[in-house]
Each structure stands twice: as structure tokens, then as C-alpha cells.
Chain A
């Protein structure tokens, strides 16, 4: 039989190496903590390196050895942190899901440049030459250093030449925050959709000369937020996201339109038949002429004027106002 010999030879070579490998795996077995592979299974395995360790396996090892915190995996968020804590038998604090935002929206149409830049398409390189082409020293250069740094393809340069973050793709790993030579990217809690899209610390009159959407430090946003969640620091408003505040009024009041809102359509307020026409809502509404009605009759909200800030909800003593629309909020 001609086939017997080849089959025998390949079979015996295979058997020889199979047995050899089996023996070797026993003899050369290296003890590894089973928790390491368990944790590795939970991790996102994107190997983004945001934890500071080389890849997910490095992080898993460090966590088991106690060198890293269970909350160290930023893309994994609280879900992964809790799962790791379960395996290790420790409790961990919930960390809020974060996302990156670019604090600038002065693109080609809004911000002036004093030169054309035609060098390496990298913000670090541009900054080396006269601190970049923009007159604003804290404006986004739009050359895509953050785009390259993002392991999740969540950042892109928009038509206006400004880096923009896709909130759906962003995991809040913070790599772009470190990559930006201008330091104008920061992480905000994902539940908040409003942020100040300006990082300029110059005084108002100076900013006005070179950027039409720059913060002039007029402090109108601070005045529009009675809860005190906005404070001025170095000619720039600082939003305190830990407070109960939606910042919608502040964004509306800003005369330079510096605030960016990631929500396109805010729910609008609606007054139902319980309204007795007391006029309280008209008094508190930050928008002029958004609520109409004679005293004593049912008031009507003009939908094209309403910004959906929800201030009127609490002012109504008969609870006649509610917010309608995407993700509507009941009074």
C-alpha cells in the first residue's frame, strides 16, 4: 500500500511533537494567577494604553498585583471597574462615564490667522513655528494631532477646521487631552452636553479683534446661573458639573455664542389646562416673549422661542408645565 508509509510518517511526526508539547506544557508550566486571565476577559481589549500600561494584559497583571486601581480602565468605565472589583473581592467607587470635548469653535470663518501654515500636518510641529498660524494662542489648530492620538476614531476635523468629538464613539480615555499641545481638550461627564467652546484667557476687547466666537468674559453666563455653578476664572467661565445645573440658560445668554450644546433639539415647555394665568412663569422665564397670555387666562408657550431650560417648571404652583420632546421631563 503506497498510502501507508506517508500516513505513518506524518502521523508519527505529529504524534512525536504532540507528546513532546504535552510533556513540555507540564514541565515548563509557569504559574500565572488565574485572576489575570479572568480580568483580561472582562477588559475591552482595545489595547489603547490609556491606563498607562502596555496593553490590556499589562493592566490586568498590574491590577492583580495591586499596582493599579480597578477603576484604571477608562474606556471600560464603571461596568468593567465593578467586574474587576468583584473578581478581586474589593469595593470600588463608581466613576462617571466621561467624554472629551474641544474647548474651541473658532474655525476658518471666525478666528483670524496671521499667516498661512504649510508645514507638517501636526499641531506640535505648527506650535514650534511662531506658536501656530492663529492669532488666538489657545485656538484649535485643526491639524489632527488629537485625531491620530484617538484609538477609537472618535475625533474628526470638521468643515470649519476644528477638531470635534463624536460623543457616541468617545470612551473618555483621555489620550487626546494629553496629545493636544494647546491643552484645549478636557473630559466632561457624558450626561452633560453643554460646555464652553473657548479657552482664551485674554480680555474681552482683545479677543473680539481676532475671534468672533471668543469668550469676552462678559460674565452674563455667571449672572444667568443663580445656582452658582459657573464661576469666572482668569477671564473664562468654569462650569462646575458636580452641581445640579443644566447650563441651558447660560448657553442661551452668551452674546458671543461661546457655548456648545451637543443636543440639537431640546425638549420644549408646554402649559396644560391646569394653568390659572398667575403669570409666575413669565416672570422667571429667561427668554423674552417666550410665554404669552393675559393675566387670569391660560398661558401659551411659543415653541420657537422656548429654550427648554425648565426654570418655569418649578415656578408653577399648580404644576401645569412640563417639558415635551426628546427625552421629555415631567414637572
Chain B
């Protein structure tokens, strides 16, 4: 039960409390770049979830069995970048070969997120101490954290896309049209998500 509660805690924390975009301010580039239409926001979100899960798993293995073993944790960032970049390439090739339909759907977005800071961010956060259990993340917890961080990213992206689709039709002052009003909206959304910060239902 302990671990189940921990998984729920990780999920809520990753989606709401420390949402990747709106609380940690990582991955802002696709957040503003691919949030013009809900359909492309969903595509991008799916691709991010996909890559985050795979990157979380692989970097956990590398961290545990290579970096910690040889006591070279300071190489974490550089090795993770290498691993994630290579991995996304590999996944892209495999998708093109075995699942052309999925490749068509994710195809444009996959190379975009290869070097995205949100993906590197989730890998690095996974190496920290789990605030709920007070221990290192287990492999399973890592996967859950990766998935839920991706879900949080997608949530922020889709919410933003929905707002921007509405904004497109509204009467915005000329000086704020386009990106400026999107930045203001993003700021207000981040403020709203700040409300989750005090959430602690294990107390």
C-alpha cells in the first residue's frame, strides 16, 4: 500500500503541483510554439509522453548501473543528453519501420523534442530523492514519474491551445495581438497552478 500511495503522490505532484511547464518552467519553447491548435497540441503532448517514458527508463538504468557504479555522477547531464538524443533517433527509425501510422502521427514532433529541456529535466529529476518515500526513485516510480510529467506537459499544452483558439477570435488590443497575449495568458495560467503548491494530502 505504501508504494501505491507513493505512486499516487508522484502522479499528482508531476501533473499539478510541479507541473513541468507551469511550475518548473521547462519546455516553454514547444509550449508557445505548438499550442496554436488543439490537434497539434495533442500530437505534441503524445510525443512528449512517449519520449519522456523511454528516456526516464533508459537514463535510470544508465544512472544506476554506469554512473553510480563508477562514481561519476557529475557526468549526468552530458551523458543523459547523449542517451536521449540517440534514443529518440532509434525510436524514430523503429517507428518508421514497424508502425508507419504512429510515425505519421508523431513524426513531425519527435525530432523537435529530442533535445528539449523538459525531457532532460525529467531524467535529472528522476535521479533526485523521491520527496514522498524519502528514498531514491525505483525503476517503476521512474516510469510513472516520466509518464505523469508528460501528462502534465500535455495538460498544460492542450489547455493553452484551447485558450489560444478562443483568443484568436477575440478582440485583442492590436499591440498585444499574437504572441504577447499568449505570454500574458501563460503567466496567468502559471499563477493559477501555483495554487496547487500547498497541496499535501499525505499529511
On whether A13 and B171 interact (CB within 8 A), knowing A6-B75, A24-B90, A30-B97, the answer reads no
Min Cβ gap B112→A in Å is 15
Residues on the A chain within 8 Å of B67, using CB: 9
Instruction: Give A21 to B87 CA distance when docked, in angstroms.
Output: 9
The contact size tier of chain A is 10 to 19
Q: Is the CB of B93 within 8 A of A24?
A: yes
If over half of A's interface residues share one DSSP class (helix, strand or loop), that class is named, otherwise mixed; here it is helix
Q: Is the CB of B171 within 8 A of A121?
A: yes
Q: Is the CB of A17 within 8 A of B169?
A: no
Which one of A6, A9, A14, A28 lies within 8 Å of B96 (CB-CB)? A28
Min Cβ gap B93→A in Å is 4
Q: Is the CB of A9 within 8 A of B66?
A: yes
> B132 at the A/B interface (Cβ < 8 Å)?
no
Please indicate which of the listed interface residues A14, A18, A28, A120 has the most CB atoms of chain B within 10 Å of its own CB: A28
Binding-face segment, B6-14, B42-50, B76-84: B76-84
Q: Is the CB of A10 within 8 A of B75?
A: yes
Against B, the Cβ 8 Å flags (1 = close, 0 = not) of A1-39 are: 000011001100110011011001100111000000000
The residue in chain B whose Cβ has the minimal distance to the Cβ of A55 is B108
Q: Is the CB of A6 within 8 A of B86?
A: no
Which one of A9, A25, A29, A125 lies within 8 Å of B79 (CB-CB)? A9
Residues on the B chain within 8 Å of A10, using CB: 75, 78-79, 82
Q: Is the CB of A21 within 8 A of B86?
A: yes
Q: Is the CB of A13 within 8 A of B93?
A: no
Instruction: Give A29 to B96 CA distance when docked, in angstroms.
Output: 9
> A113 at the A/B interface (Cβ < 8 Å)?
no
> A122 at the A/B interface (Cβ < 8 Å)?
yes
Residues on the A chain within 8 Å of B93, using CB: 24-25, 28
List residues of B (140-180) whose CB comes within 8 Å of A's CBs: 169-171
> B70 at the A/B interface (Cβ < 8 Å)?
yes
Q: Is the CB of A14 within 8 A of B75?
A: no
Q: Is the CB of A14 within 8 A of B72?
A: no
Instruction: Give A121 to B171 CA distance when docked, in angstroms.
Output: 7
The residue in chain B whose Cβ has the minimal distance to the Cβ of A32 is B96
Against A, the Cβ 8 Å flags (1 = close, 0 = not) of B88-114 are: 011001101100000000000000000
Min Cβ gap B14→A in Å is 27
On whether A17 and B82 interact (CB within 8 A), knowing A24-B93, A120-B169, the answer reads yes
Instruction: Give A9 to B70 CA distance when docked, in angstroms.
Output: 9
> B181 at the A/B interface (Cβ < 8 Å)?
no
On whether A13 and B82 interact (CB within 8 A), knowing A21-B90, A30-B96, the answer reads yes
Instruction: Give A14 to B84 CA distance when docked, in angstroms.
Output: 11
Instruction: Give A30 to B92 CA distance when docked, in angstroms.
Output: 12
Q: Is the CB of B96 within 8 A of A17?
A: no
Residues on the A chain within 8 Å of B66, using CB: 9, 13
> B62 at the A/B interface (Cβ < 8 Å)?
yes
Min Cβ gap B68→A in Å is 12
Residues on the B chain within 8 Å of A18, using CB: 86
Instruction: Give A122 to B168 CA distance when docked, in angstroms.
Output: 10
Min Cβ gap A181→B in Å is 15
Q: Is the CB of B96 within 8 A of A20?
A: no
The residue in chain A whose Cβ has the minimal distance to the Cβ of B85 is A17
On whether A20 and B90 interact (CB within 8 A), knowing A13-B79, A122-B169, the answer reads yes
Q: Is the CB of A120 within 8 A of B79?
A: no
Against A, the Cβ 8 Å flags (1 = close, 0 = not) of B41-69 are: 00000000000000000000010001100
Residues on the B chain within 8 Å of A30, using CB: 96-97
Which 3 pairs, one residue from A and one from B, show the smallest C-beta to C-beta distance?
A: A17-B86, A28-B97, A28-B93
Can you show 18 pairs from A to B with CB atoms below 8 A apart?
A6-B74, A9-B67, A9-B72, A9-B75, A9-B79, A10-B82, A13-B66, A17-B82, A21-B90, A24-B90, A24-B93, A24-B94, A28-B96, A30-B96, A120-B170, A120-B171, A122-B169, A125-B169
Binding site for A on B (CB under 8 A): 62, 66-67, 70, 72, 74-75, 78-79, 82-83, 86-87, 89-90, 93-94, 96-97, 169-171
What 13 new A-B contacts, CB under 8 Å, besides A21-B86, A25-B93?
Answer: A6-B72, A6-B75, A9-B66, A9-B75, A10-B79, A10-B82, A13-B66, A18-B86, A21-B89, A24-B94, A28-B93, A28-B94, A120-B169
